């Protein structure tokens, strides 16, 4: 596979009248003129050259799609042109010929859409975020790229401070390395600020309220922490929500016994999201003659909260997701994997979070702790998409939105990622008609291709 990086244009004097600075490359000027929407019927971009000083645009990757999926609708027979990590053009109908030497992926009847964005993933392929090495982060990112994920947040668990520090350091280092898998957007801190009663697969001895003296790791790694899950009922949690939100961190409510009033106070403090709806959280309780909503119901009825669901069929009955879609709409629901180390591996004995974490048995697609609870999933984002598309009979663009644009909007990266549009990141997945992954493309570069069957 050939993919040539762009070269600086050596002919700045030739940009007169373009409206761009004289040191702007011809290719950049051409790209910056484009509007970020589907340009049906417009001509393909020209390859520019000048005698004396060649202005050569980088080799492009062309993808011929049987179907193109956007968040709003699908289009048939479209060619995508990728250049410099961005979507440069979308050409309908005809089959334009690329220049000699440019790579072409012919997807046949395949479906091309935005790559999946996983906001909550602990591991996969034998790796766990809590292994505390950049190689582990790269390994799990490579595994999830095989399942169509192009961006993700490696997630921690409740653990001693030094182990969380090591995990976050590994995420930071992996973000600086060239990645052959999904892009690492930053870290998701899940624990230790969780309810002991609703801790799920987190070890009871490590969950606790926030403590600024003990939590120096949090402030040290704040530049790469994109998201945190916490229980708002813990002492100091509401104040922490306000401070983290002011620093640009997505604050999510989860592993919590909070009632609706406390959820309301948490949203006023800055919380905007709910972690794995239905799992490890309070539900409606009868208090005297009245009933009081828990985090589960509050998450569904409060417009200021988005939610995420693990749609593997084990964590939430797929039929119940109909209610969630009706309550929130696909614009406020993100599909996540909450995947653990055993994802992509055979049934057997594993752990969640390393040697100080939970022992887990995986059997028949279900990961279970010794206490009998679920310990995350062993499914990829492609399985989540298949499940919701089939079980809910959703139009494919709506189901796909929950795996791409919605999580991008929740995390605040939709300006760059989450949909197929000119000028946005060339992060794509190609599926066959059974919604199985054929290829995954990150920054305009294939990072996974399925072997021919």
Q: Which pLDDT tens digits describe the chain residue by residue (453 residues)?
A: 223 333 333 333 333 333 333 333 433 333 333 333 333 332 233 333 222 333 334 589 999 999 999 988 999 999 999 999 999 999 998 677 788 889 999 999 999 999 999 999 999 999 999 999 999 999 999 999 999 999 999 999 999 999 999 999 999 999 999 978 999 999 999 999 999 999 999 999 999 999 999 999 999 999 999 999 999 999 999 999 999 999 999 999 999 999 999 999 999 999 999 999 999 999 999 888 889 999 999 999 999 999 999 999 999 999 999 999 999 999 999 999 999 999 999 999 999 998 788 899 999 999 999 999 999 999 999 999 999 999 999 999 999 999 999 999 999 999 999 999 999 999 999 999 999 999 999 999 999 999 876
User: What pLDDT is recorded for position 173?
Assistant: 98
pLDDT at 6: 33
Look at residue 286 and give its three-state secondary structure: strand
Q: For residue 16, what pLDDT is reported?
A: 34
Mean pLDDT of the chain: 88
The pLDDT value given to residue 409: 99
Q: Where are the beta strands (DSSP E) in 209-296?
A: 225-230, 250-253, 273-274, 285-287, 290-292
Phi, psi of 174 (to 5 degrees): -65, -35
- What does the pLDDT read at residue 417? 97
Q: Which of 112, 149, 154 is nearest to 129 (CA)?
A: 154
Sequence-ordered list of residues with C-beta below 8 angstroms from that of 298, at least 6 positions apart, any chain: 258, 259, 260, 263, 264, 305
SS3 113: strand
pLDDT the model gives residue 307: 99
Domains of the chain in start order, with CATH, are: 12-114 (2.30.40), 116-417 (3.20.20.140)
pLDDT score of 66: 96
pTM: 0.87
Q: Which structure tokens are listed for 147? A: 């399942």
Q: Which is it for strands 127-128 and 123-124: parallel, antiparallel or unpaired?
A: antiparallel
Sign of the C-alpha dihedral computed for residues 119, 121, 122 and 124 taken in this order: negative
- pLDDT for 453 equals 66
352: β partners? 358
pLDDT (0 to 100) of residue 74 = 95
Q: Which of 260, 216, 265, 259 is nearest to 237 (CA)?
A: 265
Q: What was the pLDDT predicted at 61?
A: 96
The residues annotated with a catalytic role in the active site are 338
Strands 61-69 and 111-114: what pairing? parallel
What pLDDT is recorded for position 46? 33
- The answer to whether the beta carbons of residues 48 and 55 sit under 8 Å apart is yes
């Amino acid at each position: 596979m050939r993919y040539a990086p762009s070269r600086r244009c050596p002919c700045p004097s030739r940009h007169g009248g373009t409206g761009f600075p004289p040191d702007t490359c011809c290719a950049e000027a051409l790209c910056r003129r484009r509007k970020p929407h589907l340009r049906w019927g417009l001509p393909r971009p020209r390859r520019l050259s000048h005698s004396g000083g060649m202005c050569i645009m980088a080799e492009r990757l062309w993808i011929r799609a049987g179907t193109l999926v956007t968040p709003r609708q699908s289009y048939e027979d479209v060619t995508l042109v990728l250049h410099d990590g961005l979507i440069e053009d979308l050409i309908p109908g005809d089959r334009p010929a690329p220049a000699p030497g440019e790579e072409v992926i012919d997807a046949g009847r395949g479906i091309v859409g935005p790559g999946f964005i996983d906001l909550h993933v602990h591991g996969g392929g034998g790796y766990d975020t809590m292994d505390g090495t950049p190689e582990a982060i790269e390994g799990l990112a490579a595994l999830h790229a095989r399942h169509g994920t192009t961006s993700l947040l490696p997630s921690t668990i409740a653990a001693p401070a030094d182990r969380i520090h090591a995990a976050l350091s590994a995420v930071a280092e992996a973000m600086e390395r060239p990645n052959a898998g999904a892009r690492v957007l930053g870290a998701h801190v899940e624990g230790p600020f969780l309810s002991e009663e609703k801790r799920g697969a987190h070890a009871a001895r490590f969950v606790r309220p926030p403590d600024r003296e003990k939590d120096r790791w949090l402030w040290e790694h704040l530049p790469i922490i994109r998201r945190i899950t916490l229980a708002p009922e813990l002492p100091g949690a509401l104040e922490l929500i306000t401070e983290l939100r002011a620093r640009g961190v997505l604050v999510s409510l989860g592993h919590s016994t909070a009632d609706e009033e406390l959820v309301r106070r948490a949203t006023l403090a800055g919380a905007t999201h709910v972690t794995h709806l239905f799992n490890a959280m309070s539900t409606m309780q009868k208090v005297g003659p009245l009933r009081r909503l828990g985090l589960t119901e509050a998450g569904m009825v409060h417009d200021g909260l988005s939610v995420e669901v693990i749609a593997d069929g084990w964590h939430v009955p797929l039929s119940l997701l109909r209610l969630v879609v009706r309550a929130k709409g696909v614009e406020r629901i993100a599909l996540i994997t909450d995947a653990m180390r055993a994802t992509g591996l055979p049934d057997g004995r594993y752990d969640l979070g390393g040697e100080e974490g939970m022992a887990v048995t995986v059997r028949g697609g279900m990961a279970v702790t010794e206490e009998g609870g679920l310990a995350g999933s062993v499914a990829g984002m492609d399985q989540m998409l298949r499940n919701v598309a089939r079980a809910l009979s959703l139009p494919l663009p709506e189901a796909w939105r929950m795996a791409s644009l919605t999580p991008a909007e929740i995390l605040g990266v939709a300006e760059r990622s989450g949909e197929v549009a000119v000028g946005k990141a060339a992060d794509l997945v190609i599926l066959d008609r059974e919604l199985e992954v054929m290829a995954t493309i990150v920054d305009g570069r294939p990072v996974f291709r399925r072997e021919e069957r």
